[in-house]
Structure 1
Amino acid sequence: MQDAHIDEREGRVTTQQSPADQAAPFVPDPQRWKILSVLLVAIFMSLVGVSIVNVAVPSIQTGLGASDSDVQWVLSGYALTFGVVLVAAGRAGDLLGRGGIFVIGIALFTLASIAAGLAPDAFWLNGARFVQGVASGLINPQGVGMIQQYFRGPERARAFGWFGTVVGVAVGVGPVIGGLLIGAGGPEIGWRLTFLVNVPVGILCLALALKWFPRPLLRRPATAADAPAVGVWRSLDPVGSLLLGLAVLATMLPFVEGGSSPWYWLTLPTGAVLAWFWVRWERHHRDSGRSPMVDLQIFAIPSFTRGTVIAMLYFLGMTSIWVLVALYFQFGHDRSALQAALVGLPAALTAAVASNWAGKRVVTHGHRVVVGGLATALVGLVSSIGVVLLADSGVVSEWWLLATLVFVGAAQGSVISPNQTLALAEVPLAYAGSSGAVMQTGQRIGTSVGIAVITSVAFAALGASGSWSTAMVTALALISVVIVVALAFAMKDGRSRA
């Protein structure tokens, strides 16, 4: 089977065939681009479902009489269940058939969106959000795994480029769509529309998946690596899934809920202990001749390990920017939620273009694309700090951030998908779903930790100075430090390849 790998001498993605694969050459599926379109529509829906809620919080409080704690769980409950099920869902797709798990995730997400849109109270809404998170955890690793499965070489890089384009557009337009729906429906109905808008998209995805995906949707892969004697169901490794899920939950919980009680921070050492037990179990499971949920040998692949660390650092720093921008515009300059959402739209469109551009060039330029993207992120951060300082002095308008944040959008397109392409290039196809889910779990943990820490620093600076400009500058400076670390890591990685 012809597959992409990294040329360590030149940092490029090339292709090779192992002796075993030469007997069964890769034959491109004629439906692969149609399959990709279904994957991208579904992932767009799940990502819009996250960002669209950010502007609906005040309306939810008004419409349901929800408390601050209720609203916090509307935002964080999704992230928790999403992160907890990612790796187990990725491995289930590897073993049972990615198309079937993907369809189950779409159906579950659509039903949960209906339940959320019709929720009579905050308890019901939070339950629906938990289910939405589980459904997204089923959808996303299958998307990454199916791109690995159906595409090779330059085509795979292009597919991941389109993947990044969709991510960039979804994150940017989600708040804008939310603001428009709330404006159209009012405080009582508008927030419900932010959930119900997923329903027609979900139905469309289901119809196209059932039409274009290969049959059967759930099928045991015909590879020796995925056919252990103990049986495919036992290979799902339920003990390992439970241990890792609890470890991720214990790690993320204090960062999404730590502000409500200091007791939540006690779960951090518990998470570390559970992670240790998980590693020990996975090794025991493999040494017993069984197929582990995550073969820890994938971390012996340098490109995968380095890419996972870079992704985690990037998400640790950059994902909190849009939270900060929304706070800065709404509370620092008394702008509406829709106006605050529009600030990110040019950056989202730039991310879409940059992702497609980078996806076509990562094959020939390798990690230099990622290094350039991280450098561009620093340009955007430093220039944004300059705009905030000048706006505080009355020299320029805060709306100049639309221009400086375009660099942030370009960085997003040049880092996320190219780094994912490079990191997964040498991972065996039998572990495509679970390895992609490991990367996504790292991203989710990085996002939760980053938003919690960086917004806490911003509010501490606000409390000390009473100025949103000072808070914004302090937070952006901290993000810049994180990106400098990521850039240094990526440059060291590039030198090791040379």
Structure 2
Amino acid sequence: MIGISTAFGPTLGGLLIAVGGPQNGWRLLFWMNIPLGIALLFFAARLLPRKQLRDDQVRDLDPIGVLLLGGAVLTFMLPFVLTTGGPDDDPRRWFFLIGAALFSSVFVWWELRYAARGRSPAVRFSLFRRASYRNGLLIATVYFAAVPASFLLTTLYLQEGLKLEPVFAGMVTIPFALVSAYTAYLGGRLVEKWGRALVVGGIVTVILGFGLNVLLAVISPPELAPWLMAAALAVAGAGGGFVVSPNQTLTLAEVPVTEGGVAGSMAQVGQRVGTAIGVAAATSTFFATLYAKAHHESSLAVYHEGFRNGILVAVALIAVALVLGLFDLGQRRHAHEQEATA
């Protein structure tokens, strides 16, 4: 479902920009969330189970913990969101990280105290003692730091460098999304047999696909580049489907059912934080290259270099995910060998 929605999201966004024009089209992208939100409320009311909560469950929502976690995430993400790579970036934005450290410290203290009183905290730190959960969470965080940034860089290059209309730039990512939707379906069937090796193979394929994407963007004639980049993204999508879905399964496999909701929400926080950091790092590299080279090289050559440098940041992040995957694979095989000899 994520693959299918990813396929049509950028294209629909491009259509809305075409309908609204350059001045108002981008506003339609935000207004689009209103009918989508109403639809979500409708389906939530119809499909989610209706179960009466006990009074003690209602009191265990841990609102203070949620607010502290929200403050920590907000102050941590803000300096990265405000990083553009341009000369006007305010260096004082990094002071927000001091607030992140303070919020995080108070959050950890509160959660440990809350759990010690027998209540249900927003985050269960005991989950991190499970290697499968801890490693899977780290892999997902780093992976989501790289992939959304790669999509954004590709769109920027196509629209700003090759002067494609937004709707056509959005269509270039459709092969990735559709292929990843299919391989995610296959991955759900193969993960029990292949385990972490399936995720490692998927990460390698994603690196190959993104590498081909930037190579073809630089060496291809401009009129052929979007088509060849779409083909390269299809290769990356083949690997992407074997990463996200199987990794989710492996991450939560040893988590007790009663803690599944908390474990899943913690994974989502990690993914969102990773996305913010990855997008900031890759796009600031892209724009910093444009600012530095704009007066020395031709326009397209500058975009070639900026796109290449930004994608290298994203590929480096995926390489970190690969190292984490290999580490987890080694741990699992060592544990299996110990069980076999026990």
Give TM class, smaller chain. Answer: 0.7 to 0.9
State the TM-score, normalizing by the size of structure 1.
0.60
Q: 1:251 is aligned with what amino acid? A: F
Tell me whether 324-333 or 187-196 shows the greater mean CA deviation.
187-196
Conserved? CA contact 2:83–2:284, under 8 Å: no
- Match in the other structure for 1:356: 185
- Match in the other structure for 1:247: 72
Tell me whether 412-421 or 200-209 shows the greater mean CA deviation.
200-209
Residues 210 and 479 (structure 1 numbering): CA distance in 2 closer, same or farther, change over 3 Å?
closer
1:496 corresponds to which of 308, 313, 331 = 331
Q: 1:176 is aligned with what amino acid? A: T
Partner SS for 1:456:
helix
Matching of residues 72-151 of structure 1 within 5 Å: none
Write the distance in 2 (CA, Å) between the matches of 1:469 and 1:238: 48
State the TM-score, normalizing by the size of structure 2.
0.86
Q: 1:435 is aligned with what amino acid? A: A
- Match in the other structure for 1:407: 235
Please report how far the alpha carbon of residue 271 of structure 1 lies from its aligned counterpart in structure 2 after TM superposition: 0.6
Residues 382-415 of structure 1, C-alpha deviation per residue, up to 9 Å, x if partnerless?
A: 21232123137x7963531111111222222111
Tell me whether 1:219 sits opposite 2:47 in the alignment.
Answer: no
Please report how far the alpha carbon of residue 197 of structure 1 lies from its aligned counterpart in structure 2 after TM superposition: 4.8
- Match in the other structure for 1:181: 16
Gaps of 5+ in 1: 1-165, 221-226
Matching of residues 185-334 of structure 1 within 5 Å: 186=21, 194-195=29-30, 197=32, 202-216=37-51, 218-220=52-54, 231-259=56-84, 261-334=90-163
Residues 443-489 of structure 1, C-alpha deviation per residue, up to 9 Å, x if partnerless?
A: 11110011111111112222333310011111122222221121111
Partner SS for 1:414:
coil
Write the distance in 1 (CA, Å) between the matches of 2:147 and 2:40: 30
Conserved? CA contact 1:391–1:398, under 8 Å: no
Write the distance in 1 (CA, Å) between the matches of 2:146 and 2:113: 35
Residues 299 and 407 (structure 1 numbering): CA distance in 2 closer, same or farther, change over 3 Å?
same
- Match in the other structure for 2:200: 371
Residues 97-130 of structure 1, C-alpha deviation per residue, up to 9 Å, x if partnerless?
A: xxxxxxxxxxxxxxxxxxxxxxxxxxxxxxxxxx
Write the distance in 1 (CA, Å) between the matches of 2:67 and 2:17: 39
Residues 287 and 496 (structure 1 numbering): CA distance in 2 closer, same or farther, change over 3 Å?
same
Write the distance in 2 (CA, Å) between the matches of 1:189 and 1:326: 19
1:454 corresponds to which of 282, 286, 292 = 282
Q: 1:215 is aligned with what amino acid? A: R
Partner SS for 2:53:
coil
CA-atom RMSD, angstroms? 2.4
Write the distance in 2 (CA, Å) between the matches of 1:246 and 1:203: 27
Residues 399 and 496 (structure 1 numbering): CA distance in 2 closer, same or farther, change over 3 Å?
same
Write the distance in 2 (CA, Å) between the matches of 1:426 and 1:277: 29
- Match in the other structure for 2:209: 380
Partner SS for 2:190:
helix
- Match in the other structure for 1:71: none
Conserved? CA contact 1:317–1:450, under 8 Å: yes
Tell me whether 1:417 sits opposite 2:276 in the alignment.
Answer: no
Write the distance in 2 (CA, Å) between the matches of 1:343 and 1:306: 32
Conserved? CA contact 2:188–2:245, under 8 Å: yes
Write the distance in 1 (CA, Å) between the matches of 2:124 and 2:230: 44
Write the distance in 2 (CA, Å) between the matches of 1:310 and 1:420: 10
Residues 426 and 246 (structure 1 numbering): CA distance in 2 closer, same or farther, change over 3 Å?
same
Write the distance in 1 (CA, Å) between the matches of 2:214 and 2:42: 47
2:313 corresponds to which of 478, 482, 486 = 478
